[in-house]
Chains A and B, each alone.
Chain A
Amino acid sequence: MTALLTVKNLKFKRKVRKNWWQKAEKFVIGPINFELNAGETLAIIGDNGSGKSTLANLLAGVVTPSSGQLLLNGQKLRHRNLKQRSLNIRMIFQHSKESLNPALTVGTILDEPLKLNTNLDARERKEKISTTLRQVGLLREHAHFYRHMLSDGQRQRVVLARALILNPQVIVADEPFAALDPSVRSQMVNLLMRLQRELGLSYIFISHNLGIVRHISDRVLVLQNGKVIESGKTDVVFNWPKSDYMKKLLTAHQSLVLSKLLD
């Protein structure tokens, strides 16, 4: 069986200058290799600046890799082939607040990708918008809402609806829960898992929250300074970490979880 998404030797290089008097440092990501099957979740863990978000951008096609290949259902994805990619791999960004245009209604925001990428007529698009809104647990009336009329959790749902509306196969989510409150976050986690069961979606999921990573992912990829230092099944990596970094991370996490349980 071919994997849904195959990443082979993906590399990305860029020179960054910290200050004008310092020599430019090379920022290199990769080589990165992994496979993602339909209905699976891959989590990416790493420090700030380890290249997690750049990797997400590479997968979503926002930045061009320097070398390497991305295969979707065994077919090569070229960077120019934006249409195919944007239909099949969709991205949810870190800050839902900034990523929704305040001057447009939710309906208009959701209509745009449909207009650009499909041949549906106005009535069909409207139909699609209300089914998608219901899929993410909103009401059809929310199509008439503007950004400021929505709560954080509802905004995040709109962002998810925008990603879902083109029936993608993979959703790349960069810290989708970071800005959400605990009681709303659980709803969102449940929603993502439900959509995965119902639609067979695959997720690539970037997060600091080890508790949630452990709960929802099938496999993890650990990045440090742009290199994959560890990867494998979630329960294996969490129970028998190999790299020092992952061990340290888990110890820090465990010490937070356990410390006050004992006394």
Chain B
Amino acid sequence: MPLLDIKNLTLEIDTAGGRVKALDKVNLTIDESEIRALVGESGSGKSLIVKSIVGAINDSWTLTADRLNWKGSDLLAMSKEQRRKITKDDIAVIFQNPVSSLDPTASLGEQLEENIPDHLVGKGWFWQRQEKRKQIVSRQLHKVGIKNHELCLSSFPHQISDDVCQKFMIAMALVSEPKLLIADEPTMGMETTIKSQILKLLSRLNQNRNLSILFVSHDLLAISSMCHSMTVLYCGQTVESGRMTNLRKRPLHPYTKALLDSAPSFSKDLLPKSNLSALDGTIPTLQHLPIGCRLGPRCPRAQKECVKIPAPRHIHNHYYSCHFPLHRPLK
């Protein structure tokens, strides 16, 4: 049984131009101790999926799904209390721009201690509890590879560098010992060496602690270096998903192919300064979504049928939604 199982998640939101389906029949599963990548361009709805999972969506929006299950129990059928308990105890989220998600007026130590759930501290006199808190805090920082923890804890958010800050955010997220960590663009804008440190840290946590990770990003290099499987999103529709290796070796959806081609490091025999293969046009806005397959106007393989939404099909565990996938020759 997958840890998280989402089937046909649709989210309708209000925009200036009326109501639109920002997410349209999205499918996503995360297995126990799996690192799953959620890939898509800006505005494709990645963060909306994250918000739907943790239940942080606007009351006026309409969310429907055939399944939104956490360990087999339906999150949508639960009471608000039960759901909040699960998202608080079992799911942790870290965001891009680590500095801005911390309180600038409190030291890092104070913020971390506040995050420790009471049951981990246990009972006792307040000085004993205080002592226990301190222990937990330094253990956490040690785990994420922050060495000089005294200094780190007494610092304020603006005084530490980006990478320490992101490690600290990971430490905060892990205090409550979650089953699933959702990382929304955790390495955006970081330089290569620091990025690979953060990615190694996440991989290690995954291996040592059986932590499942949903890694949200459009950085293909980062994704393919550590993720086991990948779900590709375009304009609020899931276009392809499967094992990382299969998708990289043989993408079936034209969009996935374009995405992989956009990272020149992956193509071994690309001549310097030769043209990269690119899709025409730009990502449509929510107000001007094409009907049917939303890639339609930009897709080199598009035909008449594409005005109907393609149903998901699969070869073993490799799912794709396209009328004219790449493994079938065009007539």
A-side interface residues toward B, CB under 8 Å?
A: 47-48, 151-154, 178, 181-187, 189-190, 193-194, 208, 210-212, 214-216, 234-235, 248-249, 252-253, 255-257, 259-261, 263
Contact B277 A186 (CB under 8 A): yes
* Chain A residues near B195 (CB-CB < 8 A): 252, 256
* Nearest neighbor of B42 in chain A, beta-carbon distance: A181
Contact B282 A151 (CB under 8 A): yes
* Chain B residues near A193 (CB-CB < 8 A): 273, 275
Question: Could you list 23 A-B pairs, sorted by A, with CB under 8 Å?
Answer: A153-B282, A154-B282, A181-B41, A182-B41, A182-B259, A186-B258, A186-B276, A186-B277, A186-B279, A187-B279, A189-B276, A193-B275, A211-B221, A211-B264, A212-B264, A214-B265, A215-B273, A249-B192, A252-B196, A253-B192, A256-B196, A257-B265, A260-B244
Question: Which of B191, B263, B270 lies in contact with A208, CB distance below 8 A?
Answer: B191
* Chain B residues near A249 (CB-CB < 8 A): 192-193
- Of B134-142, B174-182, B222-230, which stretch is located at the interface? B222-230
* Chain A residues near B273 (CB-CB < 8 A): 193, 215-216
Please report the C-alpha to C-alpha distance between residue A235 and residue B270 in the assembled complex, in whole angstroms. 13
Chain B min CB distance to A146 (Å): 15
Please report the C-alpha to C-alpha distance between residue A263 and residue B285 in the assembled complex, in whole angstroms. 38
Contacts A216-B273, A260-B244 supplied; 14 other A-B pairs, CB < 8 Å: A47-B193, A182-B258, A182-B259, A183-B278, A185-B262, A186-B279, A208-B189, A212-B264, A214-B272, A215-B270, A216-B272, A253-B192, A260-B224, A260-B245
Question: Which of A154, A181, A211, A256 lies in contact with B218, CB distance below 8 A?
Answer: A181
Chain B min CB distance to A200 (Å): 14
Question: Which of A178, A212, A255 lies in contact with B225, CB distance below 8 A?
Answer: A255
* Chain A residues near B264 (CB-CB < 8 A): 211-212, 214-215
Given A182-B41, A183-B41, A215-B270, are A263 and B245 neighbors across the interface (CB < 8 Å)?
A: yes
Given A152-B42, A190-B275, A208-B192, are A256 and B221 neighbors across the interface (CB < 8 Å)?
A: yes
Contact B220 A182 (CB under 8 A): yes
Contact B221 A257 (CB under 8 A): yes
* Nearest neighbor of B199 in chain A, beta-carbon distance: A256
* Nearest neighbor of B189 in chain A, beta-carbon distance: A178
Contact A253 B276 (CB under 8 A): no
Chain B min CB distance to A43 (Å): 12
* Chain B residues near A211 (CB-CB < 8 A): 221, 263-266
B57 interface contact, C-beta 8 A = no
Chain A min CB distance to B82 (Å): 37
Number of B residues whose C-beta is below 8 Å from A? 43
Please report the C-alpha to C-alpha distance between residue A1 and residue B261 in the assembled complex, in whole angstroms. 38
Contact B192 A252 (CB under 8 A): yes
Question: Which of A178, A185, A190, A256 lies in contact with B222, CB distance below 8 A?
Answer: A256
Which residues of B274-309 are within 8 A (CB) of A?
275-280, 282-283, 285, 298
* Chain B residues near A212 (CB-CB < 8 A): 264
Contact B265 A210 (CB under 8 A): yes
Please report the C-alpha to C-alpha distance between residue A184 and residue B264 in the assembled complex, in whole angstroms. 14
Please report the C-alpha to C-alpha distance between residue A184 and residue B191 in the assembled complex, in whole angstroms. 21
* Nearest neighbor of A245 in chain B, beta-carbon distance: B193
Given A181-B218, A183-B41, A193-B273, are A48 and B191 neighbors across the interface (CB < 8 Å)?
A: yes
* Chain A residues near B41 (CB-CB < 8 A): 181-184
Contact A259 B276 (CB under 8 A): no
* Chain B residues near A182 (CB-CB < 8 A): 41, 218, 220, 258-259, 262-263
Which residues of B183-198 are within 8 A (CB) of A?
189, 191-193, 195-196
* Chain A residues near B199 (CB-CB < 8 A): 256
Chain B min CB distance to A249 (Å): 6
* Chain A residues near B224 (CB-CB < 8 A): 256-257, 259-260
* Chain A residues near B266 (CB-CB < 8 A): 211, 257
* Nearest neighbor of B260 in chain A, beta-carbon distance: A182
* Chain B residues near A153 (CB-CB < 8 A): 282
Please report the C-alpha to C-alpha distance between residue A261 and residue B224 in the assembled complex, in whole angstroms. 8
* Nearest neighbor of B161 in chain A, beta-carbon distance: A48
Among all A-B residue pairs, the 10 with the closest Cβ atoms: A211-B265, A186-B278, A181-B41, A182-B262, A215-B264, A256-B225, A186-B276, A252-B196, A186-B262, A211-B264
* Chain B residues near A261 (CB-CB < 8 A): 248
